[in-house]
Amino acid sequence: MQKIKIGLLGVLLSGGILVANAAPTTPQLPTMNAATLKNYDGKDGHKAYVALNGYVYDVSNVSAWKGGKHYKGMVAGTDLTSHIDESPHGPNVVKQLKLKPVAIYK
């Protein structure tokens, strides 16, 4: 009986280790630089991307970014990190709109 208990404990422990090692990994995001980001200006059928705090977000489906233009002259295809604190919504807009990063901005 003691051998069975020890054997079961071994199986449970090894199974726990396998499950811990089998945890899903976060997919690696591609990187994007300013020259590439510039192509995502929301004009002529292009997607509208903006960089913010080291990440690139797709704002193509956000009505306030229609045509790649936003308020106060902000345009898609650019890094808005230095302007976000001036906006009425601040950086929390990413969470409010449930935007997910599409790339890392470098």
Q: Note the pLDDT of residue 25.
A: 60
**CA-angle at 85, arms to 63 and 30, nearest 5°:** 65
The full set of domains in the chain, from first to last, is 31-105 (3.10.120.10)
pLDDT digits (tens, 9 = 90+) for 46-98: 999 999 999 999 999 999 999 999 988 899 999 999 988 888 888 899 999 99
Provide the mean pLDDT of the chain: 84
| Coil, strand or helix at 34 | helix
The pTM score is 0.73
Residue 39 corresponds to which amino acid? N
Residues 6+ apart with CB under 8 A from 61: none
Alpha-carbon dihedral sign for residues 39, 45, 51, 56: negative
